[in-house]
Amino acid sequence: MTIFSRVLGTGSYLPEKVLTNGDLEGMVDTTDQWIRERTGILKRHVAGPDETCVDLAEAAARNALDAAGLKPTDIDLIVMATTTPDQVFPSSACLLQQRLDIHGCAAFDVQAVCTGFVYAVAVADKFIRTGTSKCALVVGAETLSRLLNWEDRGTSVLFGDGAGAVILGASDEPGIISTHLHADGAYKDLLQVPAGIGNGQRGSPFMEMRGNEVFRVAVTTLGRIVDETLEAAGMDQADIDWLIPHQANIRIIQATARKLNLPMDRVVVTVDEHGNTSAASIPLAFDQAVRDGRIRRGETLLMEAFGGGFTWGSVLLTY
């Protein structure tokens, strides 16, 4: 019998603290109008001083478990996508595993920046399809505010914190149809945090981005991933019910929607409320659209993302 993986439940969590564009006007040389027009962002959530990435991940994971009607002990795999782990090691997945009182199953992090959740879903899907796992917790969680130079208006206005999660379970009916992953390290200097461990922590500990260059590559690359995904599935644009894109910039989202000939009311957009939450952005948007009733069982969803590395990828699934 062929084994597939299906989404059994979704969950998300956002920190209570909200930072509006108006707040940023008093912190950096920018304006609400400038941010709105160029990014579509109105506000973003920021983790509190004592709030960790794993705190956000745990809340999202518990919400996803509740939605799936499952207990933590039902989970036999944890894959966590994050760029902002609480510690160098143990992995944030292991820290989350301890919080949930789960013991023995594989737990590890995936680091693909904004494409992290897509990568993590693809990995968990392979575990389930090969029979290695039957019930996987996949989380995207970030505290990107801690990588920001609040005097840099090119990055400080774009990012926020949050977490989203899905439970994937083994099924004899197709759920995840296909996943597509890519990367090209030749673009590493366009979007990066220079500091690290192996280089003796030389370089800035804050995010650096060449925004215009990243925008151009992202639009072109996401157009190609849409074509690749549809061709692999033998589908055309009309077969897609919902686009759930990485929430980086409203102009990039609109360009991808045009590529699919999808009206914007069939695109899940949260960038205005959340900003760019990196690996958390797709599962946050997914959970919001499931909970407000827009996305329904049986519909076909396309998730796509682009991030530092550069990395990019997609997930095509029937919900």
Beta bridge partners of 314: 180, 304
Question: What angle do helix axes 281-291 and 116-129 make, rounded to 10 degrees?
Answer: 70
Alpha-carbon distance of 179 to 2, in angstroms, equals 17
The catalytic position among 45, 53, 94, 246 is 246
105 is catalytic: no
β-strand 161-171 against 4-13: which pairing, if any?
A: antiparallel
246 is catalytic: yes
Nearest Cα neighbor of 181 from 319, 93, 311, 77 is 311
Alpha-carbon distance of 231 to 23, in angstroms, equals 45
Alpha-carbon distance of 242 to 31, in angstroms, equals 32
Nearest Cα neighbor of 117 from 317, 259, 277 is 277
β-strand 18-20 against 43-45: which pairing, if any?
A: antiparallel
Sign (positive or negative) of CA dihedral 245, 312, 155, 257: negative
Alpha-carbon distance of 108 to 127, in angstroms, equals 13
Structure tokens at 186: 């030749």
The catalytic position among 114, 135, 249, 274 is 114
Structure tokens at 168: 């994937």
How many C-beta atoms lie closer than 10 Å to residue 273's C-beta? 18
114 is catalytic: yes
How many C-beta atoms lie closer than 10 Å to residue 225's C-beta? 22
Catalytic positions are: 114, 246, 276
